[in-house]
Amino acid sequence: MNFLKALIKPISLALIVFALAIACTPQPIKTNTDVASNSNATSTISTAASKKFSDKQVVVDFTDKVVIPTYQKFTSKTKDLKAAVDILAKDPSEPNLKAAQDAWIEARVYWEQSESFTIGPAKSLGADAAIDTWPLDKGDIAKILNSNDKLTPESIQKLQESQKGYHAIEFILFGANGKKAIADFTPREFEYVQALATVLDGDANKLLTAWVKGVDDKAPYRDSFATAGNNPIYPSLPDAVQEMIEGIIDSTTEVAEKKIGEPFKKKDPASIESQYALANPINDFRNNILCVKNVYFGGIENHAAGKSGLSAYIAKVNPSLDARVEKEIQAALDAIAQIPAPFSTAIADPTAAPKIKAAIEAVTTVKETFEKEIKPLIVT
């Protein structure tokens, strides 16, 4: 024990001396540059952590310059289709049949240009399903035509979605092989297609009304979307913009994988949506991508007239990304335009294969850019 005490004492003294030496050693002086550097780093981290999407103009442009104008054009064309079908039923002739078929194709344009925003009323009212369910139930349509059931707008509304809407009208107007002649029609078909066109026009108008005036005692959906961040439907602004971006991702996925990719892979015309109007499928592809363009640029008319919508925001935070998105969307449109028509023939044509693959790749590129680069700038 005495030995330990004798040993500990000099060790303790040595430790004290060492500690004093360290304390007295001059330390590097922290310069203003060092302080500024640390301050900037802290500021950058703080800014990144607190940064949140807050550009309300994006949702206002989307509702007022894209959704509502598109639905207004849509209802104008469904009205024209209804009128053309009524004329055809009253005066069956080849010119009137051609006019009704053309009216169907024109009415299809603005519906396909709304594919990236089948949200809100399009879902809650069942409008999306009633207007554009695919595949068509041809067997059940045959049963309807062969029955004695009344064919009125009221009875049509009660049918399954696969027995009405765009594709039921298409099937009757164009025929199973896309080459229907006026002599092929029955009185029952005229009756059916008139009721179908009336219901389609009614569904289109109800969808527009839901956005601008409100239906079923609900406020206009336009107000909910345009005031995102201040209502229970969209508690935050990013919630609404995320829905816009998800719509783009969903529609580009559908075009690349389902509308183009699946029939091309299977070499099966029966898997093509809108297969009865033989010239139409490529129109649908193009209009779906035009919808993406409209949503991104925040307008449906002249996209070169100044930045607006989502594009305006992306141009502020990442100008090179905005420029690339514009090029990628145009590249997708250009690639689709190169697919030979009719698409039902092109899918089995080896010489068309490279062009179809190029279109799939171009649309997929757009999808991946929104998914991996645009979305993260909004959703944090």
Domain ranges for the chain, please list them. Answer: 57-378
Q: Please check the confidence at residue 4 and state whether its pLDDT lies above 60.
A: no
- Measured CA to CA, the distance from residue 283 to residue 337 in angstroms comes to 9
> 189: Cβ–Cβ under 8 A, 6 or more apart, which residues?
145, 172
Buried b (16+ CB within 10 A) or exposed e, 91-109: eeeeebbebbbebbbbbbb
Tokens representing 378 are 């909004």
Tokens representing 136 are 């068509």
Inter-residue long-range contacts of 93-101, CB under 8 Å, 24+ positions, other chains counted: 93/182, 94/181, 94/182, 96/182, 97/173, 97/180, 97/181, 97/182, 100/173, 101/173, 101/174, 101/277
For residues 234-252, give the mean pLDDT: 97
Q: Please check the confidence at residue 39 and state whether its pLDDT lies above 60.
A: no
Report the pLDDT value the prediction gives residue 301, as an integer from 0 to 100. Answer: 74
Max distance between CA atoms of the chain, in angstroms, equals 126
For residues 360-373, give the mean pLDDT: 98
Q: Please check the confidence at residue 347 and state whether its pLDDT lies above 70.
A: yes
Report the pLDDT value the prediction gives residue 84, as an integer from 0 to 100. Answer: 98
- pLDDT tens digit sequence for 258-291: 999 999 999 999 999 999 999 999 999 999 999 9
The CATH superfamily of 57-378 is M75 peptidase, HXXE motif (1.20.1420.20)
- pLDDT tens digit sequence for 152-174: 999 999 999 999 999 999 999 99
DSSP string of 99-151, one letter each residue: HHHHHHHHHHHHHHTTGGG--THHHHT-HHHHHH-SS--HHHHHHHHHS----
- Measured CA to CA, the distance from residue 173 to residue 108 in angstroms comes to 14
Inter-residue long-range contacts of 30-39, CB under 8 Å, 24+ positions, other chains counted: none
pTM attached to this predicted model? 0.86
Percent of the chain with pLDDT over 90: 83
